[in-house]
Amino acid sequence: MTKKEYADFLLPNVTHTKEEYEQMYQKRNLDKSAIVTRFAPSPTGFVHLGSLFTSFVSRRFATQTNGVCLLRIEDTDTKRTVENGIEEIIESLKNYGIVFDEGAISETEEVGAYGPYIQSKRKDIYSAFAKYLIENDLAYPCFMTESELEEIRKKQEDIKARIGIYGVYAKFRNISIEEAKERIDKGEKYIIRFKSPGNFENKVTVNDAIRGSLEFPENDLDIVIIKSDGLPTYHFAHLVDDHLMGVTHVIRADEWLSSLPIHIQLFDTFGYDRPIYAHLSPLTKKEGNTIRKLSKRKDPELAVSYYHEEGIPNEAVKIYIMTIANSNFEEWQIAKPNKDYNDFVLSFDKVSTSGSLFDLEKLTSISKEYLSKISAEALYNDTLKYTEEFDRDFYDLLTKYKDYTIKVLNIEREIERPRKDIESYKAVKREISYMYDELFDKDTTTYEHKDFYSKELLNYYIDNVYDENDDKQTWFSKIKEMCSKFGFTEDTKEYKKNPENYKGSVAHVCEIIRVCVTHRVMTPDLYEILKLLGKDRIKERIEKFDI
């Protein structure tokens, strides 16, 4: 049996050779500075913030350099693949403006000349590359059983040796063609291992775009390249795909850092240019005095769906991601407040090398800031969309009272210091519910009853003082004027000086009116609220005010 026949025997029914595939995937015709990168998720049905972060950053680097960002679906671990997992990724990322130039566009369709972009459809390609290694004595079939592997692992742990298949542990590294054939003919199961040419005593260096120069011992592990189901491992698929797809930059999570010696060895073995690696740190969370990675089990905010469900605007999440992506983004924003954040140019050397602390409070404040700046109409429309999915009752009210709601949302907006009490579309209801009788009548907020609250004052106010046609100044002067009649002073300074002489100041009178019509001590501008409620509804609320 020749080497070639041996390779055919181990990996039968492969339609093309490695060389043919190399011919098929042409070099890209792009500017030298163009970054070709990819987002390569497994379709596990859970899109997390880390994925959003990685894909966002990848998309930006490609866009900034007139490059390409492609979506590759890594579904070689069939146990983790879930139905509609691909669509879920595409849809979730699209919400954040992340759209790919090439790759899967649905469970079954894709665009681009470097596909297939779904790994399970590339089996033939990986096999062709594995065959090349077998023919060149750089890969071999391994017949070790699970229990044998387990035994080796235990032994290595006992004697504190490095874990893995290398040196003496690589039992089938030099198996003869005859023996392999005999075992296979008997029906023994096998996988294909890479015959690592490395020596652990040697050092290799890699220049990571984010972390700078890194030194590692050379890889000497005979890693699995083709599994028993004929699909490749991550390491091998990474080599084949990123090479054929013309990827220049591999931007990925730093959990892959420790595998770098394997990856560069594979690229070197094939004589391919190594891509530039950029390893992103994980998102971390502070818990007491410790900092830990965000966890799927403990932190609901790790799921991208959380932000959608909470009604946090996508734009706010994106701006927040910019702050964790580049340490100088916030400075830039302060220096150039009128610039769109999309004008900021990301750079690898400003990406954090330690973990990025995920700070929900900061996201909340970015969100408040963002929502304070959009128009009342935009806020109305976005809230309507949110409630349509998550709060049908409120959606009905918003639909019924469209113009009124926009006016409500416009209170203290479009001014130099707009209100910043709304952090999400979900919070809109919380902040303006009292403006709807339907909600106000059912409102069970417990406000504190204070001695100076006076129904008499309120009745007098609505019957003799309040006039819907007053401008703000007149409105306020009238409130001041009625103060003394009820034992209050219009002068807040005077009240501070001699509190024992009064029931309160004009501020307290406003508080009575405010609490009566909203059940809250703090609200945006009272004049505007009263104007929008109108005299009849104010009167009704005074009648119902329970002192």
Least CB distance to ligand GLU at residue 101 (A): 17
Least CB distance to ligand GLU at residue 58 (A): 9
Q: Rank residues 245 and 512 by Cβ distance to ligand GLU and give the closer one.
A: 245
Q: Rank residues 51 and 518 by Cβ distance to ligand GLU and give the closer one.
A: 51
Least CB distance to ligand GLU at residue 8 (A): 30
Q: Which residues bind ligand GLU (CB under 6 A)?
A: 40-42, 74, 238, 250, 252-253
Report the alpha-carbon distance of residue 359 to residue 320 in Å, rounded.
9
Least CB distance to ligand GLU at residue 190 (A): 25
Least CB distance to ligand GLU at residue 282 (A): 12
Give the β-pairing of 36-39 and 356-357.
unpaired
Q: Rank residues 103 and 313 by Cβ distance to ligand GLU and give the closer one.
A: 103
Q: Taking the CA atoms of the chain, what radius of gyration do you get in angstroms?
A: 33
Q: Rank residues 250 and 479 by Cβ distance to ligand GLU and give the closer one.
A: 250
Q: Rank residues 107 and 388 by Cβ distance to ligand GLU and give the closer one.
A: 107
Report the alpha-carbon distance of residue 239 to residue 484 in Å, rounded.
83
Single-letter amino acid code for the residue at 84: N
Least CB distance to ligand GLU at residue 306 (A): 19
SS (H, E, C) 419-442: CCCCCCHHHHHHHHHHHCHHHHCC
Report the alpha-carbon distance of residue 418 to residue 411 in Å, rounded.
9
Report the alpha-carbon distance of residue 39 to residue 61 in Å, rounded.
12
Least CB distance to ligand GLU at residue 74 (A): 4
Q: Rank residues 70 and 406 by Cβ distance to ligand GLU and give the closer one.
A: 70
Least CB distance to ligand GLU at residue 38 (A): 7
Report the alpha-carbon distance of residue 71 to residue 107 in Å, rounded.
12
Q: Please state the length of the chain.
A: 547
Q: Rank residues 353 and 459 by Cβ distance to ligand GLU and give the closer one.
A: 353
Least CB distance to ligand GLU at residue 251 (A): 7
Distance of alpha carbon 483 from its chain centroid, rounded?
54
Q: Rank residues 253 and 482 by Cβ distance to ligand GLU and give the closer one.
A: 253
The neighbour count for residue 369, using CB atoms within 10 Å, is 14
Task: Please say whether the beta carbons of 43 and 73 come within 8 A.
Answer: yes
Q: Rank residues 115 and 311 by Cβ distance to ligand GLU and give the closer one.
A: 115
Q: Rank residues 73 and 512 by Cβ distance to ligand GLU and give the closer one.
A: 73
Helix, strand, coil percent values for the chain (each to nearest 5): 50, 10, 40
Tell me the residue number closest to ligand GLU, measured at CB.
Answer: 252
Torsion over CA of 292, 297, 299 and 305, rounded to 10 degrees? Answer: 130
Least CB distance to ligand GLU at residue 258 (A): 13
Task: Please say whether the beta carbons of 47 and 159 come within 8 A.
Answer: no
Report the alpha-carbon distance of residue 412 to residue 416 in Å, rounded.
9
Residues facing residue 505 across a β-bridge:
489
Report the alpha-carbon distance of residue 275 to residue 243 in Å, rounded.
8
List the one residue out of 53, 24, 36 whose CA is nearest residue 304: 53
